[in-house]
Structure 1
């Protein structure tokens, strides 16, 4: 073949191709259609749908939702040669022209499905010139898209009257099913309406639609398009249909996801539809009963512990309740966490060997450098075990543990666990953090307990998943969308284009959630903490064991913020973690608003409903834990004088091995009136006896409460040795160091002086501004009337040890 022959054959193609490419670039296809954002459940069903930016319901129909029945009905009715032409059907055009010119038969426009897509993308007046433009656009569409993609565009753009466009929108709004779940009769119904969307309105013209539907069903039957029995069944199916509200489950999470993924037509969430529906119903009904108590809202989060996927999300009791700010999202709201952070504190202390479950902690009035916490019931218990302190959520022992652990250590762990407000405020937080003196969200707290259920391993929650598998690839977007356009030339398929997947492994705050696990504490500490939280004898159990034994076994913790503004209850087992917040978005408290009385009943209702059939496989102690005997009086390894012993868990190589010293041997004078130290003991005339060796605060508490306590006699007065260092000096409990006191001048108000001392101290001496005030018994409460101004308060004991503090007194 000569060069001339080649040029004659391929010259027009070589010249024409650049021209076509230039025209395509000069006159690009219209912008991609704007779809209604929808949020899907994990099973692919629609949870929530929104109007698109043009205020239309245009919900995207995926290729996998175009069933063979829908495809066959649409093509047979609209364009039976759809798969054989190149966007224009010359035979149909010739036939239509003949009919229109010679007035033979019904007037037709010969529009193919591709031409209709062109017209729907760019609506114009129906003229001959515009028809020619439609043809050119149809050719352009065929060059950019394959047939299935063009059919998908058509099904997403066809009108159904009003502001409803697209077959999926009509299926959901009228039949409450996606297209791939419709019957043959319903599918044919949706296929016939787009030809006359204003005259055949579902819910308004049902009788006319029924007649037209049956006419087409018989026609399809005559063409053997569908089995005869299917046609017969479809003809008998009634048409009792009306327009329904768009799906509106999980409104708070749906809004959050749509804001997180702007422009995304379909968002695949991790929510389980059944669990979400049940959680919303339980929450709404529960809050209705609380309205009489001045409590108007609640939030719930349900997490699958194995996958960390959020399976139910209730931001408020009623999204539409404007009077009570129902559109606020209680899952994200920053509130005071109350006592819900205590499990983390005790887990960290267990990990550092500071505590074991049976170890005793002081629960007495304590001054932590000016901070004096109180238990929720305003009562103290002297000494309590670690497991009792956590199970009963006692405040004073928790503050004591935090003081020993260190606030920075604790807040660093909270920052690692995704507590954003704590991370921001960490430099300013103090001991009150453990009692709710910080900000946290239900999302953060619930995920903290997910870490407890996963052996101390923390990772972000999962909110979205990749779309379910599709039988055909997703369609390419129109210009202006995502992806690259390429013309099909020489029968080559266009370049493969992928719609970016939803970020399966990225949280809503942008944090990486998979492959980025953080170990907050050990598996051993997680098990011990869980073991304590699962005790059924806890006082905040909402019902007795006999009536709750059918519930799934769970470990849980409650919390109540200062002023009873927030009530929390968070529980978990191996399968699920559920977090509950109850309160008012206005911030107003209520007398009955406590975690145990208000939040916990809803927690148990949710577990009973959502996890009733879940396997009750409970947590097993890890191999890194072991048992040891401890003294029943202190919870420490037995010393010389520990006859009463019991078994306790411990972490080998980590837990403290300090021996129990709850009793100490003293050298007692023959008459029992005094004791000797090693320095002043006589050669004879004394006996050895055991006395309680209680911390000074516990000893003072026992004496003040009149509890049985064998106090050590005073030391030998003839001894000249000053015993004990500065750490044994009296601790001034009242007044608080560095505090400003405002007194009413006319009422003659007085200040209280009190202290705690070593057990050997019998008498203390009080000084005000270095002037002697009076002597008192070590446990005596002293009152005096102060003067206004800076004031130095001093307390010395009978061993010569001294403590000073500074306060300011103002008078009104």
Structure 2
């Protein structure tokens, strides 16, 4: 009856007061695409306690830990009677405690309850809790809790944080000497800290090796070799890569303990080092940002938000990949691409680079000179402003901005402002990430990819350019002159400098990746002599050198100027301030330039646009550069127009043409 009563009482206590079973709260970790640690955040009172699975720890360490601490761990039920009897006999003979009888399960209970006292009552309580724990958890589950909670000095808890802090490596592969040190540290973590007490740490490690050799867990020769391995004397920092992206993910989902990204750890580290090295050469208080993405999928492979995250003089905490800045001339490729798509120009169409006024707007070139008649390709290669604005005037700035927004870019204009010709030279705000996304369209047939840093299916946005226009622009950008000492023809790229030398840009791509670079001061202070060509382009080419270049396919051959159709040999604006007006041979009477047309019907359907011309009839009608199935010799046509910005072009039999830009709603 007494035995039954004891058993019944024990079970009642077991149900009423269950043991601590939960793994203590762990640090939030940010991983790369292969599961490699990029960054971690402390937990609780600033402790590093990283999540770790038992099968992610070196099995040799697990075997040695059990051999040293609790050789019958796999067999007992939480308390080892043999170890307890042995410890008692040794104490009686020596008159003092010689060895303990705490099992790994009892030690785990003590760690999870944060018990400090060493009274007999406490020992009895630990033994009972260990028995409870064994009834509810498997041996590996108990080990998992020990591996998370064991102290290793300072604010380091758990074997993973310890391996990273003391050895700079994950615990999946440890040397014998490293394993022995990690076994020794939890017994007295502060007095054996390798960075503060390296001699104590070495002695404790060697005692572990000697005892393991005595029990036959390792050989004496292995122990001797392990003793010759130096004990680490400094604490290594836990990985802190991609700090801006990691902070963003952690703030967005603070309850999540693991964030897996699309980044590549080695690329991220290499490019963070590159940005840090580069800004030192450029000047004080400057920062740099880099985005690397696969243009075929949109996966971000590296995201450097600033040159140095902790550098207050450079405002390193500001993520410049998502800051709104003026893009300078980096949008010129899209202006010419839309011009090619609309049938306004070709690569070898001649444009006038001469003083011009556009409704009071007088753009000038960066070098304060004009170059006369140049081809579109020459104008893009030299980043001339007047030719770009000339083509944009014909397209309409609303059309450019609308196309960019439909492609997924967030275009920021001052409140109450409408797009003007200044947008072609960077007269609005955009982020580095969005600019990189726009450039993914050029090597991929005109359709950009939406960039993402966490695993997600590829997302394609609305078409930015026609396939032919994208190929022609890529061909022109591939022919751009590279910075000094950089190889030519390997990547397509464009630079830009914002007004007042506040921002320097370079965006380029090869057959697989887009790389976008920004250099400047995060506070927007002008930096004299800062340019995309001198400061951002070298950083761009160095970034490609570090991640590897995949050559672009051969570019399409350009048609010589003389072989182009007559309307494409030279671009002549229809009307320009300061020059004589010419009577058009054909003119679009409706829709008018810049019109906003409400084509949505009450029932949800769309009305057709009835377009009309005056003067000579049209033989060819084009919407956004694509021919429409309309008969020749017509002055009126019904056209299905989807919502958005459009360009309507009409052409007569002998090549006279007219075009208007409008928005359909």
Q: Same fold (TM over 0.5)?
A: yes
Say whether residues 1:637 and 2:575 are aligned partners: no
Question: Aligned partners of 1:19, 1:398: CA distance in 2, in Å?
Answer: 85
Matches within 5 A, 1:366-385: 366-385=356-375
Task: Tell me which residue corresponds to 1:429.
Answer: 419
1:52 corresponds to which of 22, 32, 43: 43
Instruction: Classify the secondary structure of the residue corresponding to 1:451.
Output: coil
Distance in 1 (alpha carbons) for counterparts of 2:575 and 2:432: 40
Whether the aligned pair in 1 keeps the contact of 2:28 and 2:50 (CA below 8 Å) is: yes
2:442 counterpart SS class: helix
Alpha-carbon distance between aligned partners in 2 of 1:180 and 1:266, rounded to the nearest angstrom: 18
Q: Conserved in 1, the CA contact under 8 Å of 2:358 and 2:577?
A: no
451, 462, 469: which is aligned to 1:525? Answer: 469
SS of match in other structure, 1:214: helix
Kindly tell me: are residues 62 and 355 of structure 1, through their superposed partners in 2, closer, same or farther at Cα, counting changes over 3 Å?
A: farther
Aligned to 1:182: 174
- Residues 450-469 of structure 1: per-residue CA shift (max 9 Å, x gap): 332333332233424xxxxx
Q: How does 1:298-447 map to 2 (within 5 A)?
A: 298-305=288-295, 308-422=298-412, 428-447=418-437
Decide whether the 8 Å contact of 1:36 with 1:52 is kept in 2.
Answer: yes
Is 1:77 paired with 2:5?
A: no
CA contact (8 A) 1:179 1:187 kept: no
Displacement of 1:57 after TM fit?
2.0
1:592 deviates by 0.5
Corresponding position: 1:580 with 2:494: no
Task: Report the alpha carbon displacement of residue 529 of structure 1 after superposing the two structures with TM.
Answer: 0.8
Residue of structure 2 in register with 1:37 after alignment: 28
Structure whose alpha-carbon radius of gyration is higher: 1
The one of 208, 217, 225 aligned to 1:216 = 208
Instruction: Describe the superposition over 1:708-752 as per-residue Cα deviations: whole angstroms up to 9, x where unpaired.
Output: xxxx9xxxxxxxxx9779989xxxxxxxxxxxxxxxxxxxxxxxx
Q: Which residue of 1 aligns with 2:243?
A: 251
Distance in 2 separating the partners of 1:413 and 1:142: 65
Q: Please say if 1:237 is aligned against 2:229.
A: yes
Partners of 2:61 and 2:174 within 8 A in 1: no
Counterpart position of 1:787: none
| Alignment partner, residue 189 of structure 2 | 197
What is the alpha-carbon distance in structure 2 between the residues aligned to residue 661 and residue 257 of structure 1?
52
Contact map agreement 1:295 1:590 (CA 8 A) in 2:
no
CA 1:524–1:285: 2 relative to 1, 3 Å: same
The 5 Å alignment of 1:502-651 reads: 504-505=455-456, 513-516=457-460, 518-536=462-480, 538=481, 541-543=482-484, 547-549=485-487, 553-611=490-548, 614-616=549-551, 618-620=552-554, 632=562, 636-638=564-566
Q: Distance in 1 between matches of 2:568 and 2:300?
A: 46
Distance 1:439 1:578 in 2: 19
- Counterpart for residue 280 of structure 1: 272
Structure-2 change in CA distance of 1:229 and 1:46 (3 Å):
farther
Deviation at 1:184, TM superposition (A): 0.8
Could you tell me how far 1:533 is from its partner in structure 2? 0.7
**Contact kept in structure 2, 1:30 and 1:122, CA below 8 Å:** no
| Cα separation, partners in 2 of 1:102 and 1:521, compared to 1, 3 Å | same
Cα deviation for residue 366 of structure 1 reads 4.3
Q: Is the 8 A contact 1:412 1:423 kept in 2?
A: no
Sort the Cα spacing of 1:463 and 1:330 in 2 relative to 1 into closer, same or farther, 3 A: same
1:64 to 38, 43, 55: 55
Cα deviation digits, residues 191-244 of structure 1 (max 9, x gap): 112112233221333333323323332332343324665444323323353223
Contact 1:383 1:698 in 2 (8 A): no
Q: Deviation string for 1:348-394 (max 9, x for gaps)?
A: 33334333212234444444444443333344445432222322222
- Structure 1 vs Structure 2 CA RMSD: 3.8
* 1: CA distance, partners of 2:121 / 2:11: 25
1: CA distance, partners of 2:412 / 2:94 = 80
In structure 2, the gaps of 5 or more residues are 589-665
